[in-house]
Amino acid sequence: MSTSPQNSPMAAKDIVTPAVEGAPTRAETQPKKQGHFCIFHGLNFGNWMRLLASRPPLHWTRLPRLASITGFSLINSVEGFLENCVYGRRIRRQKIEHPPIFIIGHWRSGTTLLHNLMSLDPQFTYPNLYQVIFPGSFLLTEKIVTRLTRWGVPKTRPIDNLPAGWDMTQEDEVAMMAMTLLSPYVMLAHQDDPSKYSRFYDLKELTQAERRRWQDSFLCFLKKLTIRANKTIVLKTPVHTYRIPILLEMFPDAKFIFIHRDPYVVYKSTVHMRKTLFTENGLGKPYLEDFEEEILRPYLQLFETYESTKHLIPAGNLHEVRFDELEADPLGQMRQLYDRLSLPGWQNVEPKIQAQVPALSKYQKNTYNIDGELMRKIYARWHTVFERYGYPSRLPESAVN
């Protein structure tokens, strides 16, 4: 199967069904494997040593992974040095001529579907999997290494049924983790200790030096993407939902697309995502306890932060999308998105999106059980989101009141 974004951008669906005692779901019984690479294989040696110095929990069963990351970190350092020798001056001089487009919203809300649809438009470019895993050397190594290592990348993502491959769209936050370690994605190393990464969501508590390092690294990554293709960059990272002020400080004319989804589905799908990513990327035994609070609290913080900062975005530069409406009518919703954000070129991308519409029904759905007690707990914590965005509680009136 080809892994080109033009092949199949449509997202796999998640469905929440009433719980049946003793009936595990497909998603719960058939975990997928991520392949030979984890999120930490892109670190250079210095950042790998810094991560180990932060004392993440390790386990002897992860020794092969620890050894391979160490080997890769040495190679990454050499390749990064060579890339800087070849491209360093060009990177420093490169201008980002086109304000980026940020796709934001909570994890498992449809950001990937939206990113893949936007990637069909030839006027845009985007970071791919190889570029975010190996941000320090992709200008020098991507064309050769991706050809040699395609066998090591799974055909589908471990968290859902979306196509995977080196050239598929991916989150720029992965690159920021590798370049700076100033990312909440270091949670994959510190799975049981939120204090190690909680300040990296909105970046407000960074020191001045850390903030400068984060901004410089982000600009460097975007400059390198621009060297690869001098087009408008479409970025998809849920964490950026917390960062609207700093993103506008860097890119005052940036456009934002906020996507949201049924909170019940998001909760169950996020649990599945965390279990999968913690298992596939950890340096020690997976920490699969206390998930509930670490999903409930950040979710609410994300929406509260978005609601309190979205007014900073200039008029005409923000568009909100419901996942269920995008899934039901991708062509109509994308047409509306282009119109609201005054994006040119709809006539060029419309037939490409139209050609992908039939693919939506071909993916196997992830199905999750949810019982009434959990629904009540979710609604009690997230009721403001249900009400603000028009999602029914599906609970008895007595439970809601």
pLDDT at 37: 80
Q: What span, in angstroms and rounded, lies between the C-alpha atoms of 71 and 386? A: 47
pLDDT at 96: 96
3-state secondary structure the chain: CCCCCCCCCCCCCEEEEECCCCCCCHHHHCCCCCCCCCHHHHCCHHHHHHHHHCCCCCCHHHHHHHHHHHHHHHHHHHHHHHHHHHHHHHHHHCCCCCCCEEEECCCCCCHHHHHHHHCCCCCEECCEHHHHHCCCCHHHHHHHHHHHHHHHCCCECCCCCCECCCCCECCHHHHHHHHHCCCHHHHHCCCCCHHHCHHHCCCCCCCHHHHHHHHHHHHHHHHHHHHHCCCEEEEECHHHHHHHHHHHHHCCCCEEEEEECCHHHHHHHHHHHHHHHHHHHCCCCCCCCCHHHHHHHHHHHHHHHHHHHHHHCCCCCEEEEEHHHHHHCHHHHHHHHHHHCCCCCHHHHHHHHHHHHHHHHHCCCEEEEECHHHHHHHHHHHHHHHHHHCCCCCCCHHHHC
Q: What span, in angstroms and rounded, lies between the C-alpha atoms of 171 and 102? A: 11
Determine the CATH number of domain 14-370.
3.40.50.300
pLDDT at 24: 35
> Which amino acid appears at position 174 of this protein?
V
Dihedrals φ, ψ of 65, to 5°?
-65, -45
Query: Per residue of the chain (401 residues), what is the pLDDT tens digit?
Result: 333 334 444 444 555 544 433 333 434 434 446 566 899 999 999 999 999 999 999 999 999 999 999 999 999 999 999 999 999 999 999 999 999 999 999 999 999 999 999 999 999 999 999 999 999 999 999 999 988 887 666 666 655 566 667 888 999 999 999 999 999 999 999 999 999 999 999 999 999 999 999 999 999 999 999 999 999 999 999 999 999 999 999 999 999 999 999 999 999 999 989 999 999 999 999 988 878 888 999 999 999 999 999 999 999 999 999 999 999 999 999 999 999 999 999 999 999 999 988 876 665 556 667 888 999 999 999 999 999 999 999 887 756 66
pLDDT at 35: 60
Closest-CA residue to 127 (of 184, 158, 170): 170
Dihedrals φ, ψ of 326, to 5°?
-65, -40
